[in-house]
Structure formats: structure tokens, C-alpha cells
Amino acid sequence: MLTDYHLHLRPDEEGTPPQRYFTAENVDRYLAAAESAGIAELGVSEHVHRFRQALELWRHPFWEEQAVDDLDAYCEFVGGTPLRLGIECDFVPGAEDRTASMLEAREFDYVVGSVHFVGEEAVDHPGWDVWERRGDPDAVWRRYFETLAECARSGLFDVLAHPDLVKVWGSARPLPDRDLRHYYEPAVEAIAESGIAVEVSTAGLRKPVGELYPAPAFAEMCVEAGACFSLSSDAHLPEQVGYGYDRALTFLAELGVEEIAVFDGRARRLEPLGAANGEN
């Protein structure tokens, strides 16, 4: 089986109101793209910060500006489609109880946990650039993976999204000097303890870094720690569904991973990895 769970029905840019993208026609475009890529399970995981309810978790100025949609209207819309219902929810340190209440009150099939921010600054957002404000790559990488470890350990999430997002800018931002496995270590420990599924995301192939998340060394450490994996494109357009899956499947095969995490009502099972149409 192939899945694409971490995806968005619209671009991240301004001026993308739900009524234009959360339509049966747009869902059909995603489903058609999934079918031609041999993807059996398609789910949507809109960013939590697009919903008003997110402000109960965090009042970061970026969220204040973005949080305009209604989470329940989203759940109701997706519930009336063949898509699995997910959400991409940032881990907000200190808001664990409020996050749990928000998630438990709704019938998600899975929750993708992500870390975009370290403190008030983001690793992937030019407007809140951690590199400009904090600079030192050793400090940024250390803090990022410590936060990722907390995210895994929180038990709030089923899938750990784009697990080394901190590398998103590639050579446009400084890399730490030491062996990167040193930074992965606390996150891998937390992944092993929590049992959270590690997302192999092809989104990195479309970003300046030009590689999959996670990096091979990080993924190998996850395999050694007994982690399981999920597979997603983080598409924001129908034509990005299943993007780069040939690369991801080769990557997983080289790691010796033969099964993929599949979710239903927040229960996980493992299914053999492979395309429904035999293409991959």
C-alpha cells in the first residue's frame, strides 16, 4: 500500500479561503492524482494555525494573522469526502493539555505533529527567521532536535512530520560543524520511547535543500531504534500528490523498510509497502 497523509488542499499563501479549496471539485483533483500514482489512502492535514481554535494553544503573531477558519467546519467538510481526516498540529511547549483537548474533541484518523518554531522563531519561515535572529547553527540545530524530541514524547501525535525540517534552506544557511548524528540522538531516543511513526516526506525534494526528510543517517538511526515510518508528499497542490515517491520508495527499500503505517480513527496498523497499480 501507498499513502499520502500529510497534505494540504491549498497553498500556504495569503488569499486562499477554504470556500475556494475545500470543494468537491478540488478533492476530486487530489483523488485523481492519487489514483494515477497508485496511492490507496489519501488524507488531508491542514495546518492547525489556519484555524481560530489554534489561538487557544498559542498566540504567536503569525498565528494571530493566519487563524481565521473554523476547525469544526473543516472536520465536517473532510468527513463528507473519501479523504482521511488529519491535521498538521505544531507542538507548542506548555500547551500539551490544551492541545490534547482540542484533538480529542474531534474524530481525526491521525494527527501529524510538527516543529516549525524554536521559541518564537521559525526554521522554515523567512518572516520569523531563526537564522537571522539566533544565527549560531549549533544552537539552532540543538534546540530544534530537542523540541522535536519533546514533540515525539508528548504522546499527542501519531506521525512526526518532516523530522529534519531544520535543513530546509540547504546551503543557504550555515550547517553545524559536528557530525549531525549528534543532534539527531535525543530525537531518536524520544521516537523509540514514544513509538511515534516517522514521516518520510518528499517535500524536501521541492525545497532548497533538495533531499528527502529525514536524512539517510537520521533514518538509519530510526530503523536501528525500531521505529516505523509513514509516507507523505506534504502536497499543497493536486499535482504534488505522491511527488517524488519513486525516490522515497528506493530510500525506504535501501533502509530495509518493507511496511508503512496506516491510520484509521487514530489506530495504527502496518501494511506492506508498494503501489496499488504496481507502478512503483
Contact residues: Zn ion, CB under 5 A: 88, 114, 234
One-letter amino acid for residue 221 of the chain:
M
Considering beta carbons, is residue 11 or 135 the nearer one to Zn ion?
Answer: 11
Distance of closest approach, residue 233 Cβ to Zn ion, in angstroms? 10
Distance of closest approach, residue 232 Cβ to Zn ion, in angstroms? 8
Considering beta carbons, is residue 140 or 234 the nearer one to Zn ion?
Answer: 234
Distance of closest approach, residue 162 Cβ to Zn ion, in angstroms? 6
First to last CA, the chain: 10
As a whole number of angstroms, the distance between CA 145 and CA 218 comes to 11
Distance of closest approach, residue 272 Cβ to Zn ion, in angstroms? 26
Residue 20: CB atoms within 10 A of its CB come to: 11
Q: Which helix (H) or strand (E) holds 34?
A: helix 24-36
Considering beta carbons, is residue 203 or 249 the nearer one to Zn ion?
Answer: 203
Positive or negative CA dihedral for 47, 53, 58, 60?
Answer: positive
Considering beta carbons, is residue 141 or 199 the nearer one to Zn ion?
Answer: 199
* Contact by Cβ (8 Å): 156, 111: yes
Considering beta carbons, is residue 66 or 114 the nearer one to Zn ion?
Answer: 114
Considering beta carbons, is residue 136 or 239 the nearer one to Zn ion?
Answer: 239
Distance of closest approach, residue 248 Cβ to Zn ion, in angstroms? 16
* Rounded CA Rg of the chain: 18
Closest by CA to 151, choosing from 180, 191, 210, 119, is 191
* Contact by Cβ (8 Å): 131, 122: no
Look up cell 470543494; give the residue: 23
Distance of closest approach, residue 89 Cβ to Zn ion, in angstroms? 10
Closest by CA to 234, choosing from 88, 69, 72, 122, is 88
Considering beta carbons, is residue 89 or 260 the nearer one to Zn ion?
Answer: 89
| Exposed / middle / buried, residue 65 (Cβ in 10 Å: 0-12, 13-18, 19+) | exposed
Distance of closest approach, residue 65 Cβ to Zn ion, in angstroms? 17
One-letter amino acid for residue 45 of the chain:
S
One-letter amino acid for residue 244 of the chain:
G
